Structure 1
Amino acid sequence: MRKNTIDLVTLGCSKNLVDSEQLIRQLEKNGYSVTHDSESPEGEIAVINTCGFIGDAKEESINMILEFAQAKEEGRLKKLYVMGCLSERYLKELAVEIPAVDKFYGKFDWKNLLQDLGKVYDERIHIERSLTTPQHYAYLKISEGCDRKCSYCAIPIITGCHVSRTMEDILDEVRYLVGNGVKEFQVIAQELTYYGVDLYKKQMLPELIEKISDIPGVEWIRLHYAYPAHFPTDLFRVMRERDNVCKYMDIALQHISDNVLSMMKRHVTKAETYTLMEQFRKEVPGIHLRTTLMVGHPGETEADFEELKEFVKHVRFDRMGAFTYSEEEGTYSANNYEDSIPQEVKQQRLDELMEIQQGISAELSASKIGKCFKVIIDRKEGEYYIGRTEFDSPEVDPEVLILAGDEKLEIGDFYQVKINDADDFDLYAEVIK
């Protein structure tokens, strides 16, 4: 047990990761040594930043808390603190169920943790973070919460209404991160397209992205988690005109059947969704689209699922994830629909959908053979350097593998490569001399 050392574990999404990075910076400013997601925690204090989105994530968070609670009971840990989404949602229940935890904090009151450690949160460095990612890229959170009330989603219950950060604050953070070597920004929010409505009374995402792209040193900007209804179409122009805005959009569509979209309370139709996909491809030539789809929502019929399969075949998403519906207490679905589709049917639909996508992904990857791309190098692994194109976001998308030869490649630098081979997931390339 190392004195003045804190082990911080982050579970869930990249939005949680940003919170952890801010906390690490504050802890280090107060004299602590902090490890992140260590495989062998040795600190006298542990902090777990939890996820509470769906059943599997909640289970993972609870198991992690119990693991550290046992370490505390065995005398291998002095203090255990829990924060984040699961803690926000089940604060009172968790405190009763797992008394070994010294204190539970919600998603937004983690600053009190410093106070309980006898330290002070320093507002002067609120935009500063100790990155847990490689130094050349960072996640940039532009808002919190969500005003959408999708039937299945517990996130508005956990995070509350949409709250945008001021543009000045975001741009200050970008300049700070660029000054610390960051070249690539994954712009994230629960709902990107709503950015600015609360502060500026209109959608301001296109203007914000333009301003970020004007900052010297910003090489790549990639956008995550857009919503299809009332999409700010001026963003097409920004993506088309700005070389450092990646031709990439992560837009969670969930379904295509009007029947299911209506039950999901998505406020968008099948026709509008198809039109938006066509607009993306027409207005931003070469764009790569990533989406997330759900199968097994209450009321989804075989006919609805067939529509979804046809949609995937027609649009040919460059990247696609999918998951089965799981009932979340407190949501509209849980209160108003019966979760009547058997789990084996949900899983069968998921497998079928992903099999279609796997074939599409393989074809799209193969079409890149012989073409040249700009890649950024993330790391070296075994005999390969691992990089990504502008169409690949860290952790979730395919990678570019470059055989390490005589030439040494620098982590975080850009190179022009030619694609020589491809499989279902990754590309193989050589550097163009």
Structure 2
Amino acid sequence: MNNKKTIDIVTLGCSKNLVDSEHLMKQLENAGFKVTHDAEKPKGRIAVINTCGFIGDAKEESVNMILEFAQAKEAGRLDKLYVMGCLSERYMKDLEAEIPQVDKYYGKFSWKELLGDLHKEYAEELHNERVLTTPGHYAYLKISEGCDRKCAYCAIPLITGAHVSRPMEEILDEVKYLVAQGVKEFQVIAQELTYYGVDLYKKQMLPELVERMAQIPGVEWIRLHYAYPAHFPTDLFRVMRQYPNICRYMDIALQHISDNVLTAMRRHVTKADTYRLIEQFRKEVPGIHLRTTLMVGFPGETEEDFEELKDFVRKARFDRMGAFAYSEEEGTYAAQHYTDNVPEEVKQQRLNDLMLIQQEISAELNHNKVGQRFKVIIDRMEGDYYVGRTEFDSPEVDPEVLIEAKAEMPLSIGEFYEVEITSSDDYDLYGQVVS
């Protein structure tokens, strides 16, 4: 196909952005374009960059990507350059002034205009359909947009606005559509999962949504991402216990444990609440693996606060943990009311210290799996190994299971196997298929 009809799409940031790109790709293909995603060497005459505007590093990456394509346009290798997503939503006027080579900037929710600017119509009947950029056996499923939480450090509500749930029937229809395409595993995502349904149904509806998803034939794994600890919908515990295809996994960002810091962050949860919730998770859903994200260097975080955080990581023994240093975001409550008074080198040292503690915990927890058998889905072949995951591992962010490839026993990508774990390192497991 003529490369004038080829559109290169580049997605930066989170899986929620990826879902938007996948929906756009479906619309563009339907309109007659050939579409590539994150191509190593873009060859089209049109490019669309879906940007991230969450924290400093992500914003810098997005700006650099726009500049790279702007140079390609100036060099004559590109006819049209369009920019969408969170960075564009938040800094549109600044970007228009600073990088005028871009033909048009779109907000996070106005990218449908892009089709009109390409002289094509948005096909409403395809609103639930998309081109998967993930391996065909798993997909991300976005159930809402926006966030009503007003955490002091977070710019997301400034970018995405108030929480808006998708109607449940629409989500379930999308699940059925994806199952028909061969998807077996669903990563359920939102800015804040536990608030799902409050705007539409006047109550938290995540337990009912997940229960109904679990009853759809062909749905083999459901994994939940980005929950909030305050007012957690405890009926979800019953649902997770009752359905074997709901992974015993919860991604719940806790951010900190010191009451001083939690109050300053406006998290509406206490140290005691947090410990109680973790205990409840492990009691109600035996074997659950908890993933969390923690922040160091928030304004006013003292050495005592940080020692409390380290102690928390040692005690809680999270199965999965990420951490990042506070980055002041303009327009947030923290930027307006606090001084970013923890030096950068202190932030970095605290981050390193925290991750070293977690590395030891992860290595120990992994070692405890040696000799056990797990249901594993195979994602890809890499070198001499098949690379898969257990129900406790989300794509991209969690440990993987490496299985040595043997000519006499070829494995199929996207299929499940029973695997015995034979050894481990800090983050990954090694195993062999049980014949």
TM-score under structure 1 length normalisation: 1.00
The separation in 1 between residues aligned to 2:109 and 2:321, in whole angstroms, is: 31
The separation in 2 between residues aligned to 1:357 and 1:308, in whole angstroms, is: 12
The partner residue of 1:423 within 405, 425, 429 is 425
Counterpart of 2:57 in structure 1: which amino acid?
Answer: D
Q: Which runs of 5+ in 1 are unaligned?
A: none
Number of the residue aligned with 1:355 = 356
Aligned-pair CA distance for 1:333:
0.3
Deviations 1:128-149 (A, max 9, x none): 0000000000000000000000
The separation in 2 between residues aligned to 1:307 and 1:169, in whole angstroms, is: 44
Number of the residue aligned with 2:67 = 66
Counterpart of 1:99 in structure 2: which amino acid?
Answer: P
The separation in 1 between residues aligned to 2:271 and 2:4, in whole angstroms, is: 58
The separation in 1 between residues aligned to 2:292 and 2:266, in whole angstroms, is: 18
Number of the residue aligned with 1:293 = 294
**Correspondence 1:115-194 to 2 at 5 A:** 115-194=116-195
The reply on whether 1:271 has 2:272 as its aligned counterpart is yes
Deviations 1:391-418 (A, max 9, x none): 0000000000000012110100000000
What SS does the corresponding residue of 1:99 show, helix, strand or coil?
coil
Number of the residue aligned with 1:22 = 23
Aligned-pair CA distance for 1:372:
0.2
Deviations 1:82-124 (A, max 9, x none): 0000000001110010000000000000000000000000010
Number of the residue aligned with 2:84 = 83
Aligned-pair CA distance for 1:3:
1.8
Number of the residue aligned with 1:322 = 323
The partner residue of 1:414 within 413, 416, 419 is 416
What SS does the corresponding residue of 2:322 show, helix, strand or coil?
strand
What SS does the corresponding residue of 2:81 show, helix, strand or coil?
strand
Moved over 6 A (4+): none
Calculate the aligned-residue CA RMSD, in Å: 0.5
Deviations 1:236-273 (A, max 9, x none): 01111100000000000000000000000000000000
**Correspondence 1:29-40 to 2 at 5 A:** 29-40=30-41
User: What's the % identity of the aligned pairs?
Assistant: 76
Deviations 1:352-386 (A, max 9, x none): 00000000000000000000000000001111000
Counterpart of 1:356 in structure 2: which amino acid?
Answer: I
The separation in 1 between residues aligned to 2:31 and 2:175, in whole angstroms, is: 24
The reply on whether 1:243 has 2:244 as its aligned counterpart is yes
Aligned-pair CA distance for 1:166:
0.3
Deviations 1:149-173 (A, max 9, x none): 0000000000000000000000000
Deviations 1:309-350 (A, max 9, x none): 011000100000000000000000000000011000000000
What SS does the corresponding residue of 1:298 show, helix, strand or coil?
coil
The separation in 2 between residues aligned to 1:281 and 1:124, in whole angstroms, is: 43
Number of the residue aligned with 2:223 = 222
The separation in 2 between residues aligned to 1:74 and 1:334, in whole angstroms, is: 40
The separation in 1 between residues aligned to 2:205 and 2:280, in whole angstroms, is: 20
The separation in 1 between residues aligned to 2:210 and 2:17, in whole angstroms, is: 22
The separation in 2 between residues aligned to 1:135 and 1:377, in whole angstroms, is: 11
Number of the residue aligned with 2:112 = 111
The separation in 2 between residues aligned to 1:382 and 1:302, in whole angstroms, is: 45
What SS does the corresponding residue of 2:295 show, helix, strand or coil?
strand
Number of the residue aligned with 2:198 = 197
What SS does the corresponding residue of 1:56 show, helix, strand or coil?
helix
The separation in 1 between residues aligned to 2:98 and 2:114, in whole angstroms, is: 21
Counterpart of 1:262 in structure 2: which amino acid?
Answer: T
Counterpart of 1:357 in structure 2: which amino acid?
Answer: Q
Counterpart of 1:427 in structure 2: which amino acid?
Answer: L
Number of the residue aligned with 1:312 = 313
Number of the residue aligned with 1:283 = 284
TM-score under structure 2 length normalisation: 0.99
What SS does the corresponding residue of 1:359 show, helix, strand or coil?
helix
Aligned-pair CA distance for 1:2:
1.5
Counterpart of 1:77 in structure 2: which amino acid?
Answer: L
